[in-house]
Amino acid sequence: MNVSTEGAAQLGEWLAAASRFLAAGSTQEAAALIEAALAVCPSDPDVLNAYGSLLLLRGDLPRATDVLGAAATAYPTHASLCANLGAAYQMAGRHMEARHCWQRAVVLAPDAQSPLLALARGRLLAGDPDEAGEAAAAALARNPDNAEATELIGLVALTRGDHSEAERRFREALERGAGDSALLRGLSICCLHRGATGEALALAERAWLADPLDRDGLDHLARCQAEAGRLADAEATCAKLLAFAPNHVSARALLARIRLVRGEPEAALADLAAFAKANPGSAAALSALADTARESGRLAEAEALCREILRREPDHAPALKLSEDIALAQGRFPPRSGSAVPIGVRIDVPPDMLAGEFILLSRFLPALADEDGRVKLHAREHFLPLAAHLPVGFEEGPPQPGEATLPLPGMLRCFDLDRDWLADPRPYLTADAALAARWRHALQEHPRPWIGFTWSLDAQGLAMEDVRAAIPPGATPVSLMMGEGRHALARWPEALDAGLRLEGFADMIAAVACLDYIIGPDTAATHLAGAVGRPGMAAVGAHQPWHWASRGERALWYPTLRVARQTRPGDWSAVVAALRGACASIVADFGDPAGLQPEIASF
């Protein structure tokens, strides 16, 4: 049908107005304009594209797919039709067909960003972060100020576990005007990962307000409330979510965790056991029960549940990981996987690895040095100052094409591990001599023993007040906390705030090396105490993290450290008593220098 110039102009105005209504979610107003356009030009590709978009927004997927498919067939070079057909396929779960449509749209409209962004989002949802990252990077290259592309690169980084890169990208996207619920929730996840619970909670609240129908946003809000210690609020949020999604496994698991924090492990396990029984085909429900059993300290029960999950689904990744962790926590080491240590292979450090685990596993790195005495390492920049204190050189960088790599946790399978082999108390990290001298000089004006400490920032962990109760008079308490946690020291004016002067791992290692004793939960400072060979005691939860496996009271991986373990979730009283006894003994030894342990009296 031929349309006059005047009619074409009016048609363009209708479609432009309809597009604005669609963007605002006003389907009724958009429908009136699109129906008028269809009456005038029922075969126009732009009109059909608008009609397909309306049907997609209404959730009428079958009709949308039919309309867009027929139009894309008739107009094969119309990029927007092809892209919207990809969106229809994506909504139907037809990810590969969606990918083909978006790739074609990118070629048809090489200067447009929307097909690239659609491809990036679609591939991310389909579990292909590599192609998603490439598409988002291409979109950002065309427009460096594009907030959506920046946000997508952040989401890709978050999917890969690179929280620091994800946070950086999310903050850039916020500065450029983005602010949707996915961005806010992603940034909240990053903040929660680094212990900034207050900011994480504020962002989670904003994300939920931006999209109150998003179940994942509500679930994350509950998680942030729990981490911030607002257990009643978290419980209420879970109850709200479970009212309209009663089989939401994550919310069920969070409720169980709240009960653990309150010291009610039996109730937590009973609730999840009933849920798993009511959903016998759900591996996720059984996995949540296994996690809760482990958090309760019932490792044998958790291991049995993992075996059942793996019987049903042999490749169930969470169950495999939990089984390996439990075995290590009980001092059972994985069998060696090769006949020789892989000398010279590039070690890849997972982006989501925590500092404590890197510190523990770095003891193996020198054994992998090549003939030039260097280790090839691919790690976040954050870890390089730590590696610099090992007795070996490093070549840092990403793997080259075809280069063999080994994930850092995989090194456990490269050696014949046994308890006696690990019992060597010699330190494997060495402090910078000049920095250590400065710290020793700064501490000299305070009475010994100098007892370093940290505490947990999460609600269920060892609190600062617990640590304070464990350090008796006569000692100088030295806080090794960094970041926002330091603000709590306003309630403990007698403690030295060493964290104020800690500029990085080099300072932390030097400070720890000068202290007489170190106590605290599973933090980088406690791991460093073991790595530099200083004495101390780690306060460990009932879930028994594998890197604090012990022989009696002595830590397997850190022979100079002892371990005090919770016997019941939510109750730290026995652990605090053990810490107090250890610290009192150190204070008494300094009253009688002849009674000092050799490692304490080493300088």
**What are the extents of the domains in the chain?**
346-417, 433-595
Strand partners, 518: 452, 536
Q: Percent of the chain beyond pLDDT 70?
A: 97
**What pLDDT, on a 0 to 100 scale, did the predictor assign at position 5?**
60
Tell how far CA 507 is from the center of its chain: 26
pLDDT at 3 over 60: no
Average pLDDT over residues 355-380: 91
Bond prior to 76 in cis (omega within 30° of 0): no
Other C-beta atoms closer than 10 Å to the C-beta of 571 total: 12
Angle between helices 163-175 and 147-159 (to 10 degrees): 160
**What pLDDT, on a 0 to 100 scale, did the predictor assign at position 295?**
94
Taking only the tens place, the pLDDT of each residue in 255-284 is 999 999 888 999 999 999 999 999 998 999
Q: Which residues have C-beta within 8 Å of that of residue 110, sequence separation ≥ 6?
A: none
**What pLDDT, on a 0 to 100 scale, did the predictor assign at position 315?**
94
Average pLDDT over the chain, rounded to whole? 91
The order of strands in the sheet holding 561-565 is 496-497, 476-479, 450-453, 517-520, 536-540, 561-565, 554-555, 550-551
Taking only the tens place, the pLDDT of each residue in 76-100 is 999 999 999 999 999 998 999 999 9
Which fold does the domain 433-595 belong to in CATH?
A: Rossmann fold (3.40.50)
More confident residue, 343 or 582: 582
The amino acid sitting at 486 is R
Q: How confident is the model at residue 595 (pLDDT cuts 50, 70, 90)?
A: low
Is the pTM value of this prediction over 0.85?
no
pLDDT at 147 over 90: yes
Average pLDDT over residues 552-567: 94
**What pLDDT, on a 0 to 100 scale, did the predictor assign at position 10?**
79
pLDDT at 361 over 90: yes
More confident residue, 22 or 186: 186
Nearest CA-CA partner of 482 in 199, 194, 215, 81: 194
**What pLDDT, on a 0 to 100 scale, did the predictor assign at position 7?**
58
Average pLDDT over residues 21-37: 85
More confident residue, 463 or 9: 463
Positive or negative torsion for Cα 509, 513, 515, 516? positive
Residue 19 region by backbone torsions, left for phi larger than 0, else alpha for psi between -120 and 50, else beta? alpha
Q: How confident is the model at residue 557 (pLDDT cuts 50, 70, 90)?
A: very high
Report the alpha-carbon distance of residue 295 to residue 203 in Å, rounded.
27
137-141, 227-231, 459-463: least confident range: 459-463
Report the alpha-carbon distance of residue 537 to residue 562 in Å, rounded.
5
**What pLDDT, on a 0 to 100 scale, did the predictor assign at position 592?**
63
pLDDT at 6 over 80: no
Taking only the tens place, the pLDDT of each residue in 379-433 is 988 888 899 999 999 989 988 888 889 999 998 888 888 877 788 888 999 999 9
Which H or E element spans position 485?
none
**What pLDDT, on a 0 to 100 scale, did the predictor assign at position 603?**
42
Nearest CA-CA partner of 237 in 261, 212, 273, 262: 212
pLDDT at 74 over 60: yes
